[in-house]
Amino acid sequence: MKRWKALVALALAAAFLGVLGFGLTRDAQVLPSAIIGQKAPQFDLETLDGDSIDLSSLQGQVVLLNFWASWCIPCREEHPVLEMADKRYDGKGVRLIGVVYQDTRSNARRFLEQHGGGWPSVLDPSSRVAISYGVYGVPETYFVDPTGRVVQKHVGPLTWDLLSSTVDSLLASGKGAAPDTTAASGTAGVGADAAAGPEATGSGARTQR
């Protein structure tokens, strides 16, 4: 009996070490995402300027949905990349849409006044859209192909190489062929009070609110 228990304990230990070893060998920046390959959840939301954007009206174009907040430190890091994208792809069948995440209109407008940005941002006051996309923190960006299908999700600050290569691929194919992965490079997590500032943990690191 004691020998049987020892063998069971040994087997469990071996299984645990196997799982641990597998986890250590995986790329921590590549995470599966259930939304990849699915139709982008639709929305019709008010912009910061009082207009509205219906996602379904953008079908036929490549759409970048960027979830962000004024209190998000990593969002500030990626903002210049979004500005470059807005200028490079202007008039080329690409739409960049910001989705304000757990933040106020006044704070979001103040951020854009300070940092610039000519693309529209919509308000998601109840976070219903964020929930439908499975947003964990900010920044997060979803690449939607011209057929309205989510082809890639990026968690953390975008880099120019990643953004441009993905968008160029979507434009070239007309349908999109990005991999079924989520590239994670640091986000700002959220808590209950969106008005409070984040607790920064360093450039590109996750911050909890």
The pTM of this model reads 0.74
Question: How much is the pLDDT for 56?
Answer: 96
Strand 94-100 with 62-68, pairing:
parallel
The residue type found at 104 is: T
Tracing tokens 């923190």 back to the chain, one arrives at 137
Tokens of 6: 């020892």
Partnered with residue 122 across adjacent β-strands are 47, 99
The answer to whether 206 and 187 have CB atoms below 8 angstroms apart is yes
Amino acid 33: pLDDT:
74
The pLDDT of residue 105 is: 97
List, edge to edge, every strand of the sheet that includes 182-184. 30-31, 182-184, 150-155, 140-144, 62-68, 94-100, 121-123
Determine the pLDDT at residue 182.
47
What does the pLDDT profile of the chain (209 residues) look like in tens digits? 555 455 445 554 444 434 333 333 333 344 567 899 999 999 999 999 999 999 999 999 999 999 999 999 999 999 999 999 999 999 999 999 999 999 999 999 999 999 999 999 999 999 999 999 999 999 999 999 999 999 999 999 999 999 999 999 999 986 544 443 344 555 565 543 333 333 333 334 333 34
Q: Other CB atoms closer than 10 Å to residue 8's CB: what's the count? A: 10
Q: What is the pLDDT of residue 179?
A: 41
